[in-house]
Amino acid sequence: LACSGVFYYKRQYLTAYAATATTLNQQQQQPATEFPSSNTFKVNVLPRKDLPTYRLDEVKKHGKSAERIWVTFQQGVYDITDFIEGHPGGNKILMAAGGSIEPYWHLYQQHENEETYEMLEELRIGNLDPRDVDKDDLYANDPLRHPALQVLSQKPFNAETPSQLLIDHFYTPNPLFFVRSHMPVPKTHRVEIDGIGVKKPLSFNVDELKKQFEVVSVSATLQCAGNRRADMSKEKTVQGLPWKGSAISNAKWTGVRLRDVLVAAGVDPNDKRIKHVHFEGADHDTEGQHFGSSISFEKAMKSEVLLAFMMNDEEIPLDHGYPLRLVAPGIAGVRNVKWLKKIRLSDEESPAFWQQKDYKFTEKINYDAVPAIQEYPVQSAFVIPSENITVKRGLTYLEVAGYAWSGGGRGIIRVEVSADGGNTWQRAELEQNPDEDLDHMWSWTFFRATIQIPPNVKEMDLVCKATDRSYNTQPETARGTWNVRGLLNNAWHHIKVNVV
Amino acid sequence: LACSGVFYYKRQYLTAYAATATTLNQQQQQPATEFPSSNTFKVNVLPRKDLPTYRLDEVKKHGKSAERIWVTFQQGVYDITDFIEGHPGGNKILMAAGGSIEPYWHLYQQHENEETYEMLEELRIGNLDPRDVDKDDLYANDPLRHPALQVLSQKPFNAETPSQLLIDHFYTPNPLFFVRSHMPVPKTHRVEIDGIGVKKPLSFNVDELKKQFEVVSVSATLQCAGNRRADMSKEKTVQGLPWKGSAISNAKWTGVRLRDVLVAAGVDPNDKRIKHVHFEGADHDTEGQHFGSSISFEKAMKSEVLLAFMMNDEEIPLDHGYPLRLVAPGIAGVRNVKWLKKIRLSDEESPAFWQQKDYKFTEKINYDAVPAIQEYPVQSAFVIPSENITVKRGLTYLEVAGYAWSGGGRGIIRVEVSADGGNTWQRAELEQNPDEDLDHMWSWTFFRATIQIPPNVKEMDLVCKATDRSYNTQPETARGTWNVRGLLNNAWHHIKVNVV
C-alpha cells in the first residue's frame, strides 16, 4: 500500500473536507497518498548508503531463537539484541524478531514520537532490500479510506468521523462512518453456527441468508466504548487511542434477524441452558487468535438484532464488516462483531480477550470483579462548536449543536445546554428518528440550541448534558468514572468560548 | 381514631425501635396513642369553656354558599369568612367550608406550624360537640401503623422506614415498609378489566384469581419518586414531602402474572393497537377522582409484573394495597397502583393527574415536554451512618453501609465509597439476591465498607455512588437534575463525619 509507514497523529480537524456525502464518495476513490500531510507526524525511514542491504530472508534468520535478534522498520534493518533487556515493554519486542516491528508498534501509541525513532536508528545495521519492503505488511489488504476521516491509527485502522460533519446527516455516509478495527481487515465468506441447543448446525454465506430469511432493516447508532476518551485524560492520563468525541455514527442496517437464523438452526427460544451467544470475526492476530465477543441470549433473540449485509442501502464496506456483521443495537460497538465467521451458543460468556479483559475497567486488574460492558450509559457531546473557539464581542447569539444517545434503546428525553458551566440550563431542540419510540430508540438524537452570549463576558463555559428514558443523566465530571482504560466517558461535555 | 388530629413532623430517628421483625409485628398491635411523642409537633385542640358548642349539622349549614363560612378543626369551630381573602392558598380553603379543614391541611405541609394554628385559634367561635368529632374524618378507616415509621404526613399517611433499620433485613418487614399514600385507605374487593383488545371483559376478586391462575413470586424493591428529596432541597428549595432517603423498601411479592390475566381476558399479546395499560385504585379524593396511573403494554406483558395479594408471605397489609395491587418491578413506585379496582388497555397513557402532571418535572410547567417517569435511574445512599455524626479521635476505622438500586432490572455492578469527598474511592462489598442475575435484578443491593479514618483530620466527607448494569452512574450533585418537585434525586450521597 502506497501509504505504508506513514504515521498520522495529533491530526487537527480538516476544514477542507467539509464536503457533502456525494463529494465524499467521489473522493474515496482517490489514492491514499493524497492524504493531507499538514499537522501530522510522519516517519519515513530511507536507505543509508553507509550500511549494507539485506533481503528479508536474511532478516528472518535472526528470529527469536537466534543469537542476534534483528527487526525491520520500513527500509531500515536493526539489531535489537542489546536493547531487549532495556525495552520498557519487556520481551514483547521479541514478537517482531526476524520481521517488521511495525504491526506491533501501531498497537502501542507510545512508540509514535521522535525520541523512539531516534533510539531505533541508533541500532541500525542495514537497509532492507526495496523489493522486500511491505512484504511483511499484514495490512496490505486494507481498503482505501476516505481522506476526511480523522485517523488515530493506520494499522490497525482507527478513525473518527470528522467532527463538524458528524451531524450533517442523520445517517452517517458510509465513507465517513467511524472505523474501529483491532486487526487487519480479513477476507471471509461463510458463517457457521454451533453450540448448546443447536439441533441443525448451519453454514451459510450472505446469498443463502438472503434467500432463506426475511430481510429487515434497523436504524442504529454504534459507539466506540472509548469515545470521548481524550476528555477523560484531562482528569488523569488514560491508556488507549485518544478518541475525541466522534467515535460514534448512525446507519440504516439491513440484514436478517439473528433469532430467525438461530431458530432455523433448531434453537429453542426457551432453552434455559443457553445464556450467551458468541461471535467470532475472521480478523485475527499474528498468532491466529480471532477477534471475538458475546452478547446475552436474551438480547440475541430480540427482533432488532441483525446479521447485516447492507449499510445505508449499500453493500457493507470492508471496514465495517463485509460481507456480514452483527448489529446489536444499544450495545457497545465492540460486541457488534464484524467479518462474521462463527456464531456459538453457550452457557458462558465469550472467553475472548476483548470480552474478558480488554474493554473492562476495574481497580487492581481484577477482571472478574466487573461484568463485560454491554448496554451503554447516556451520552451527549457538542459537535458545533467542536473545539475551544473565539467569537467576536458584539455577537449576541451562538448556535450550538451535537448528539446524544443512550444504550438499551432508551430514548433521549431531553438535552440541556448551559452557557455558564452548568449553573443555569436551557432546553435544546431535538431531532430524532420519527419511526422510533422512546423505549426502542436505537438511533441517536441530534440537538440544537441558540445560546445568548451575555454582554461583558470574556469567556463562556458551554456545557451539554442529556437525560434518557430511564431518567439517567450524565455525571458532572469524570471524577467518579475515571478508569485507566478511559472507557465509557460520559461526563458533561464542556467547550470553552473566548469572547474578544 | 384515637390519634386523630395529632401531627408528627421533624421526627428524629427513634433508637428505641431498633427491634427485630418479630418484635415489630407484635408492637403493631399496640394502640396508636402510644406513639412516642418526643421531638414531634403535636396539636390538640380542646374545648373552650368561654364559647358555645355546636353540632356538626349546624356547622354544615355554613358551607361555601353560606353568608358566613365555618370550618372545624378537631374540637374547634371557626368562622373563616373574613380570612378567606387573606388566605395565601386563595379560595381553595372553601373546599373545607361546612366541615373539617383537616383533610386539606394535611395535603399542604406549610400549615403544620405553630403560627398557623395560632392564626386559626383567633377565628374560633365555638366547640364541636364531642359526639361529632372525627365524623368528618375521611381517614377514619386508615389502619394502625407501626410506631417506628418516620411519619411525614398522617393524612394521607406517608412515612419512611426508620433509616437505621432499613438494611437490617433484605426483605423489609411489612410493618416497616415505607408507606406512600395519596388519599385515605379505601375498601375494595373486585377488579375489572376492559379496553382495547379485551374480548372477554373480566371481573374477579382475589380468591377467583388464585383459583384460575398460576401463583408466582417476585422479589422487588419499590422506591418513591421523591426519595432523597430532602437532599435536593439543599441545592435549592423544592416542593413536596421531605423524604430523606428511606422511601425505599424491598419485599417478596406473591400473586398472579398480569399477562396471564390479560390473555385470559382475550388479549392478543401481539395486538399492536394496545400501547398502555391503565390501573385505577379504589382510593379517591373528596370529589370522587380515583387514583390512576399506567405502564406500557410491553412492560405489562413481562413475566415479572404481578397482580399481588401477598407481601413477604403475608396478606398484603391495608397500607400496601389490600387486597390486590400492581407490582411492576423496576418502575417508579407511583405506577405500582394499590387497591386495584380497574385495569384498562388503551392506545394512550392514563389521563390521570398522577401520570400527566404530578410526578413530572419540566421547566415552565410544560407537562407535554417530558414523558411520565417509568424506569428509575441508578441510586444509592448511606444508611449507616444515617446523619452527620461525630466520632472520637483515635478511632481507626468506620463501618459504613447502605443500599443501591436501579430501574429496569439493571443490576448494581459496583458501589464505591469515598472518605474525601470523591477524590479517592474504594469498592464496597455487595449483598444481592442470589436468585437474580444482573439483567433482571428487581431487588436492591446492600453495600458495606470499612473506611480508614486518616490521622489528623477534623472531618470527613463520606460519599457513596453506584454503577448499574448499563454503566450508568449517579450525578455528582443535583445541579443538573434539580427540579421544583424534587423528583428522582440520585446525586452522590454525602455524610459529614466530625472527628473530635
Q: Is the peptide bond before B385 cis (omega within 30 degrees of 0)?
A: yes
Choose among A370, A407, A475: nearest Cβ to B414: A370
Choose among B470, B473, B492: nearest Cβ to A375: B470
B149 in Cβ contact with B159 (< 8 Å)? yes
Q: B424 to chain A, minimum CA–CA distance in Å?
A: 9
B361 in Cβ contact with B473 (< 8 Å)? no
B350 in Cβ contact with B342 (< 8 Å)? no
- Whether residues B475 and A477 touch (CB distance < 8 A) is answered with no
Residue pairs between chains A and B whose CB atoms are closer than 8 Å: 92
Place of cell 473566548: A498
Of the candidates A437, A432, A494, A427, the one whose C-alpha atom is nearest the C-alpha of residue A467 is A427
Bridge-partner residues for B375, per DSSP?
Answer: B331
Interface mutation target, options B470, B483, B490, chain A, most CBs of A under 10 Å: B470
B63-102 b/e (C-beta count within 10 Å ≥ 16 → b) = eeeeeebbbbbbbbbbebeebeeeeeeeeebbebbbbbbb
Whether B53-128 and B179-357 share one fold: the answer is: no
- Whether residues A438 and B472 touch (CB distance < 8 A) is answered with no
Bridge-partner residues for A78, per DSSP?
Answer: A71, A124
**Residue B120, helix vs strand vs coil:** helix
B105 in Cβ contact with B4 (< 8 Å)? no
- Whether residues A479 and B422 touch (CB distance < 8 A) is answered with yes
Strands B493-499 and A429-431: unpaired
B233 in Cβ contact with B158 (< 8 Å)? no
Give pLDDT, residue A24.
36
* Active-site residue, B111 included: yes
* Active-site residue, A111 included: yes
**Is B412 touching A (CB cutoff 8 A)?**
no
- Whether residues B492 and A480 touch (CB distance < 8 A) is answered with yes
* Active-site residue, A224 included: yes
CATH number of B53-128: 3.10.120.10
**Is A475 touching B (CB cutoff 8 A)?**
yes
Q: Is the peptide bond before A385 cis (omega within 30 degrees of 0)?
A: yes
CA max distance for chain B? 73
Place of cell 525513532: A117
Choose among B370, B377, B469: nearest Cβ to A473: B377
CA A152 to chain centre: 9
Spatial distance between the Cα atoms of A416 and A425, rounded to a whole number of angstroms: 6
**Is A160 touching B (CB cutoff 8 A)?**
no
Please give the radius of gyration of chain B, using alpha carbons only, rounded to the nearest integer. Answer: 24
The single residue of B87, B189, B273, B479 carrying the catalytic annotation is B87
**Is B370 touching A (CB cutoff 8 A)?**
yes
Give pLDDT, residue A34.
28
* Active-site residue, B87 included: yes
Give pLDDT, residue A466.
98
**Is B414 touching A (CB cutoff 8 A)?**
yes
Complex ipTM > 0.90: no
* Active-site residue, A169 included: no
The DSSP code for B494 is: E
Chain B hits for A469, CB-CB cut-off 8 Å, are 371, 374-375
User: To 5 degrees, how large is the angle CA A104–CA A109–CA A114?
Assistant: 100
A257 in Cβ contact with A213 (< 8 Å)? yes
Chain B hits for A363, CB-CB cut-off 8 Å, are 427
Q: B359 to chain A, minimum CA–CA distance in Å?
A: 12
**A437 burial level (CB within 10 Å; 0-12, 13-18, 19+):** middle
Give pLDDT, residue A1.
25
**B214 burial level (CB within 10 Å; 0-12, 13-18, 19+):** exposed
Give pLDDT, residue B37.
31
CA max distance for chain A? 73
Bridge-partner residues for A412, per DSSP?
Answer: A468
**Is B88 touching A (CB cutoff 8 A)?**
no
Kindly give the confidence (pLDDT) of every residue in chain B, 500 residues in length, as a single tens digit, with 9 standing for 90 and above: 222 222 222 222 112 222 233 333 333 333 222 223 333 445 778 888 999 999 999 999 999 889 999 999 888 999 999 998 888 877 778 878 898 887 667 556 567 777 888 888 899 999 999 888 876 678 888 999 998 899 999 889 999 999 888 999 999 999 999 999 999 999 888 999 999 999 998 999 999 999 999 999 999 999 999 999 999 998 899 999 999 999 999 999 999 999 999 999 999 999 999 999 999 999 998 778 999 999 999 999 999 999 999 999 999 999 999 999 999 999 999 999 999 999 999 999 999 999 999 898 877 778 888 899 999 999 999 999 988 889 998 889 999 999 999 999 999 999 999 999 999 999 999 999 999 999 999 999 999 999 999 888 999 999 999 999 999 999 999 999 999 999 999 999 999 999 99
Domain ranges of chain A: 53-128, 179-357, 378-499
Answer positive or negative: Cα dihedral of B32, B34, B39, B41.
Answer: positive
Place of cell 446507519: A251
- Whether residues A475 and B475 touch (CB distance < 8 A) is answered with yes
Give pLDDT, residue B160.
96
The three cell numbers of residue B16 are 428505641
Choose among A370, A376, A492: nearest Cβ to B470: A376
A106 in Cβ contact with A27 (< 8 Å)? no
Choose among B298, B370, B407: nearest Cβ to A470: B407
Choose among A413, A472, A479: nearest Cβ to B370: A413
Which chain B residue has its CA at the smallest distance from A418's CA? B480
**Is A363 touching B (CB cutoff 8 A)?**
yes
Alpha carbon distances (Å) from A421 to A217, A364, A391: 40, 34, 17
Chain B hits for A423, CB-CB cut-off 8 Å, are 479
**Is A217 touching B (CB cutoff 8 A)?**
no
Place of cell 397482580: B307
Strands A340-346 and A191-195: parallel
A368-404 b/e (C-beta count within 10 Å ≥ 16 → b) = eebbbbbbbbbbbbbbbbbeeeeeeeeeeebebbbbb
Kindly give the confidence (pLDDT) of every residue in chain A, 500 residues in length, as a single tens digit, with 9 standing for 90 and above: 222 222 222 222 112 222 233 333 333 333 322 223 333 445 778 888 999 999 999 999 999 889 999 999 888 999 999 998 888 877 778 878 898 887 667 656 567 777 888 888 899 999 999 888 876 678 888 999 998 899 999 889 999 999 888 999 999 999 999 999 999 999 888 999 999 999 998 999 999 999 999 999 999 999 999 999 999 998 899 999 999 999 999 999 999 999 999 999 999 999 999 999 999 999 998 778 999 999 999 999 999 999 999 999 999 999 999 999 999 999 999 999 999 999 999 999 999 999 999 898 877 778 888 899 999 999 999 999 988 899 998 889 999 999 999 999 999 999 999 999 999 999 999 999 999 999 999 999 999 999 999 888 999 999 999 999 999 999 999 999 999 999 999 999 999 999 99
Spatial distance between the Cα atoms of A61 and A66, rounded to a whole number of angstroms: 7
Q: What is the 3-state secondary structure (H, E, C) of chain A?
A: CCCCCCCCCCCCCCHHHCCCHHHHHHHCCCCHHHCCCCCCCCCCCCCCCCCCEECHHHHHCCCCCCCCCEEEECCEEEECCCCHHHCCCHHHHHHHCCCECHHHHCCCHHHCCHHHHHHHHCCEEEEECHHHCCCCCCCCCCCCCCCCCEEEECCCCEEECCHHHCCCCCCCCHHHCCEECCCCCCCCCCEEEEECCCCCCEEECHHHHHHHCCEEEEEEEEECCCCCHHHHCCCCCCCCCCCCCCCEEEEEEEEEEHHHHHHHCCCCCCCCCCCEEEEEEEEECCCCCEEEEEEEHHHHCCCCCEEEEEECCEECCHHHCCCCEEECCCECHHHCCCCEEEEEEECCCCCCHHHHCCCCCCHHHCHHHCCCCCECCCEEEEEECCCCEEECECECEEEEEEEEECCCCCCEEEEEEECECCCCCEECEEECCCCCCCCCCCCCEEEEEEEECCCCCCEEEEEEEEEECCCCECCCCCCCCCCCCCCCCCCCEEEEEEEC
Q: A57 to chain B, minimum CA–CA distance in Å?
A: 50
pLDDT tens digit sequence for A348-391: 999 999 999 989 887 777 888 889 999 999 999 999 998 889 99
**Domain A179-357 coded CATH 3.90.420.10:** yes
Give pLDDT, residue B135.
67
| Assigned architecture for domain B378-499 | Sandwich (2.60)
The three cell numbers of residue A255 are 440484514
- For residue B433, give the H/E element and its range: none
The single residue of B11, B62, B106, B111 carrying the catalytic annotation is B111
A245 in Cβ contact with A163 (< 8 Å)? yes
Bridge-partner residues for B496, per DSSP?
Answer: B461
Choose among B369, B416, B488: nearest Cβ to A471: B488
Give pLDDT, residue A16.
22
A332 in Cβ contact with A308 (< 8 Å)? no
Answer positive or negative: Cα dihedral of A351, A353, A359, A364.
Answer: positive
* A residues 427-466 closer than 8 Å to B (CB): 427, 438-439, 465
